[in-house]
Amino acid sequence: MSKQELETVAQSMVAKGKGILAADESMGTIKRRFDSIKIESNENNRRAYREMLFTTKGIEEAISGVILFDETIRTSASDGTPFPQVLSKKGIIPGIKVDKGPVDIPGFPGEVVTEGLDGLRSRVKEYRELGAKFAKWRAVITIGDGIPTYTCMEANAHALARYAALCQEGGLVPIVEPEVLLDGSHTVERCEEVTEKTLKITFAKLFDHRVHLEGMILKPSMVVSGKDNPTQAGVEEVAERTIRCLKRTVPAAVPGIAFLSGGQSAESATEHLNAMNAMGPHPWEVSFSYARALQDPALKAWKGQAANVSVAQKIFYHRAKCNSAARSGKYNKQMEAQAA
């Protein structure tokens, strides 16, 4: 894939009014999600759940791409159509999570680095053949007593840059995801400081590895208060601090920023995105790449039962449309009431 083709895919991923659905839960994560509605995480249930999401009528109005897990990209819908084709037929771009998850950094308690670079070149090639057009790699940065250290931020940024370069070489648009966790009791000021440092180091490494910035997407966390902090920053403050932090660190060459929700409630994630877009225009598209904030309400309605599919799809469509409105700062609370 040429640089031009990478740019075209990256721009489609952050098309106006659209965002990305993260449906790339690992086996452990999807089991926790299913435990919450008391159903078993087996191949059949996972397929039925993903099929419910992917076949929701009209979802392509708000969703530009879907990040899949290794099992999911190899799975077919009940009519035998492989999931990547189900999505492509709707004009939704299939993508794939390629990292192998975080492991502890020896000598650095409480800090992790993401693994998965070994064999990545051949995995990229295989995923392209299975229909993927973009990939995702998540780095995890924890705020705590004396952490994150420079070593941790640097190790993760280095891995992100090597991953991004390998993806572009193999014809996949890389989503670069340095997530600053909201776990902890830190202040919003501390989150802003850590996010800024993380992004500065990440872009320095992307530059060192000759990653084509116009052919990638950034998936950062928002600048929010630690979830255990009794004083939570309001919607406007989160939007202002997040945009300021991004303007200081993210080159305008990057086509778009697709935020992760990172454990925020579905409505909070939409409100924050809306407030940021209401402050625009910005140098890049300000979009979303949510997992729980798009899926959770639908998952709870579905409960693993075929009889609940149409209700759950309606709820999923509603969440996607709310975030679509937030892409241009046009979301409001009344939209929630209308769906109720």
Q: Is 177 known to be catalytic?
A: yes
Percent of the chain at pLDDT exceeding 90: 97
Active-site option among 18, 133, 219, 321: 219
Break the chain into its structural domains and give their ranges.
Answer: 3-339
Active-site option among 25, 177, 196, 271: 177
Q: What is the pLDDT of residue 125?
A: 98
For residue 338, pLDDT beyond 80: no
Q: Is 192 known to be catalytic?
A: no
For residue 178, pLDDT beyond 90: yes
Q: What is the mean pLDDT of residues 57-63?
A: 98
Q: How confident is the model at residue 164 (pLDDT cuts 50, 70, 90)?
A: very high
Q: What is the mean pLDDT of residues 192-219?
A: 98
Question: What is d(CA 206, CA 201) in angstroms, rounded to the nearest whole number?
Answer: 9
Please give the CATH topology (third level) of the domain spanning 3-339.
TIM Barrel (3.20.20)
Question: What is d(CA 79, CA 62) in angstroms, rounded to the nearest whole number?
Answer: 24
pLDDT tens-digit readout, 136-149: 999 999 999 999 99
Task: Report the b/e string of 18-37 with b at 16+ CB within 10 A.
Answer: bbbbbbbbeeeebeebbeee
Q: What is the mean pLDDT of residues 92-98?
A: 98
CB atoms < 10 A from the CB of 278, how many?
14
Work out the mean pLDDT of the chain and round it to a whole number: 97
Q: Which of 78, 69, 70 is nearest to 44 (CA)?
A: 78
pTM, rounded to two decimals:
0.97
Q: Does the CA dihedral 66-68-73-79 come out positive or negative?
A: negative
For residue 31, pLDDT beyond 80: yes
Q: What is the pLDDT of residue 104?
A: 98
pLDDT tens-digit readout, 275-322: 999 999 999 999 999 999 999 999 999 999 999 999 999 999 999 999
Place of tokens 């409001």: 332
Largest CA distance in the chain: 53
